[in-house]
Amino acid sequence: MFYYVLKYVLLGPLLRLVFRPRIEGLEHVPSSGAAIIAGNHLSFSDHFLMPAVLKRRITFLAKAEYFTGPGIKGRLTAHFFRSAGQIPVDRSGKEAGQAAIREGLGVLSKDELLGIYPEGTRSHDGRLYKGKVGVAVMALKAGVPVIPCAMIGTFEAQPPGKVIPNIHPVVIRFGKPLDFSRYAGMENEKAILRAITDELMYAILSLSEQEYVDEYAAVVKAQQTEEKAAAKAKERRFPRLPLS
């Protein structure tokens, strides 16, 4: 019940007022039955903007850190995310991917919409990164279509680290459903899963018109963090002398 109060009374109207999102291709989202909506992930706001514009309830897989904060603030945040249709998924350890797939298949088994970000994390620089194959596994096991989605402008509206969003035009663009039934029964074939994922990421890229990077976002971000740390350490060892 709180999901619909949040969507139609509290958060939804506020988001539509602030961002005034333009919606394109909404007719591609089925009015009933299970389906996966897979999109790029540019901003914290993405979690709430897409549900605000969809007519149906959608459940997202979200990182478990949103649900495990300490104290009263942590409990309120966890309650808010669950009420907003988010399911916590532990992304650490070898079983993280399997846990996400189990949770996603549980949503699809109820003939509901499942929202997922194939990149696995938010883009830290606005580019589109290589997709992970979990969405392909779920699509084949559940036998459901995948609707590509592009969030456009949310990176500028709320880039990483910014709490209060900027007022910036936002477009939410849905593409035609992708049917992967021709690969039924091949969910254990790595080459097939990679081909499905690449086809999906190309569809998202065509909708979003982002720059594409054929590497995982988390890997690139970790490399850049290490490089920055190394540069700071070098600066401490060899500080620049002031010019006389």
- Token output for 104: 């996603």
- Give the span between the Cα atoms of 67 and 46, in whole angstroms: 17
Per residue in 49-76, pLDDT tens?
888 888 888 998 877 676 677 777 667 6
Q: What is the dihedral of CA 216, 185, 97, 148, to 10 degrees?
A: 50
Q: Please write down the long-range contacts of 131-134, taking CB distance under 8 Å and 24 or more positions apart.
A: 131/197, 131/198, 131/200, 131/201, 132/97, 132/197, 132/216, 133/190, 133/193, 133/194, 133/196, 133/197, 134/97, 134/100, 134/101, 134/104
Tell me the residue ranges of DSSP E strands in the chain. 22-24, 35-39, 58-63, 86-89, 113-116, 128-129, 146-152, 171-174, 212-213
In this predicted model, what pLDDT tens digit does every residue of 106-145 receive, in sequence order?
A: 999 999 999 999 998 889 999 999 999 999 999 999 999 9
Mean pLDDT for the stretch of residues 181-185? 96
28: left (phi over 0), alpha (psi -120 to 50) or beta: alpha
| Contact call for residues 149 and 36 (beta carbons, < 8 A) | no
Amino acid at 92: S
Whole-structure pTM value: 0.84
Burial class of residue 185 (count of CB atoms within 10 Å of its CB; 0-12, 13-18, 19+): exposed
Give the DSSP per-residue string, 200-229: HHHHHHHHH-PPEESS-HHHHHHHHHHHHH
Q: What structural domains and CATH numbers belong to the chain?
A: 2-214 (3.40.1130.10)
Q: pLDDT tens digit string along 191-233? A: 999 999 999 999 999 999 999 999 999 899 888 888 787 877 7
Are 42 and 126 within 8 A, CB to CB?
A: yes
Section 6-15 average pLDDT: 60
| CB 155, CB 123: distance < 8 Å | yes
Confidence of residue 12 (pLDDT cuts 50, 70, 90): low
